[in-house]
Amino acid sequence: MSTFNRTTLVKVLEILDSSNAGEALAAAKLASTMLREAGLTWYDVLAPEIHGRAAQAPATRAIGGTIGSGPFGYRRDRELSPHEQFFMVLLSPRTPMEIKRKLRSWEARVLDGEITPQETQDLRFMYQSFVVG
């Protein structure tokens, strides 16, 4: 189970105001995934205080990073799907705008699971470079 980060959730939810419907949908899906993987519900988050199990466990720090929690609060114990990697790269503030523009043309195919093996490999590289870094 990942450590819940309210600040990250707020940043993701701010994207819901985007004029790009795909970007807003991606933010909504990412926010829901963050809650699910933290063992929380929307009721838990909207309550005055978070009472979920994940909120009680502090993040474990090590030299060079956080153990047990991946980018955007995702667990590190599994490989992210190309769909998840796509939206994390798209939403990352470290991703250059020219890469985000390129990714927009992939969106429908990623959502339909129709990207090529080379695009999957490119996406994994972008995820490692701009999200995990």
Helix H, strand E, coil C: the string for 58-112 is: CCEEECCEEECCCHHHCCCCCCCCHHHHHHHHHHCCCCCHHHHHHHHCCHHHHHC
Angle at 96 between CA 108 and CA 88, to 5 degrees: 50
* Cα separation, 84 vs 111, whole angstroms: 10
For residue 16 the two structure tokens come to 């819901």
* Cα separation, 88 vs 28, whole angstroms: 12
Res 9: pLDDT: 86
pTM passes above 0.95: no
pLDDT-wise least confident of 72-76, 83-87, 123-127: 72-76
In 10 A of CB 118, how many CB atoms?
A: 8
Please say if the pLDDT value at position 2 is more than 70: no
Instruction: Using pLDDT thresholds of 50, 70 and 90, give the confidence band for residue 77.
Output: low
Percent of the chain predicted with pLDDT > 70: 73
Angle at 95 between CA 90 and CA 99, to 5 degrees: 75
Higher-scoring residue by pLDDT: 53, 103: 103
Closest CA to 29 of 70, 77, 90: 90
